[in-house]
Amino acid sequence: MHSLPSADTPLYNHPLHQIENWLRGQNCVRDEEEQHCWHLQRPHWKATLCLEETVLKVDYEFAPSQNKTLSFPYSLSRQDVEQAIFAFEPPQN
């Protein structure tokens, strides 16, 4: 297995298999039907991450029945995307 490029490297400079390994390392699970999508479960929210043609799209779900969708261009660094996606904090009611 090859190591990931530097964390400040844009996602578009990461080979697909390395992005997939990175997602697995973040405890994401690949969708069996939609192979370009991954699921993530956290204590206070869950998300579906989809590797779209031009962006990494993230659909968050948090209680009660609230949703938020964010899109991250592949030109962002892996570090920036990681901080934005995995450090998500649902809005407080």
- Residue pLDDT, tens place only, 24-61: 999 999 999 999 999 999 998 999 999 999 999 999 99
CATH number of the domain that residue 62 is part of: 3.10.450
Q: How many CA atoms lie within 13 A of 5 on its CB side?
A: 15
Q: Is 81 domain-assigned?
A: yes
Q: How confident is the model at residue 63 (pLDDT cuts 50, 70, 90)?
A: confident
Residue with tokens 């939609």: 34
d(CA 15, CA 4): 9
Domain of residue 15: give its range: 11-86
Q: Is 26 domain-assigned?
A: yes
Q: Is 2 domain-assigned?
A: no
Q: Is 6 domain-assigned?
A: no
Q: Is 92 domain-assigned?
A: no
d(CA 31, CA 14): 21
Q: Is 91 domain-assigned?
A: no
Looking at the structure of the chain, the number of domains it has is 1
Q: How confident is the model at residue 93 (pLDDT cuts 50, 70, 90)?
A: low
pLDDT of residue 51: 97
d(CA 49, CA 39): 6
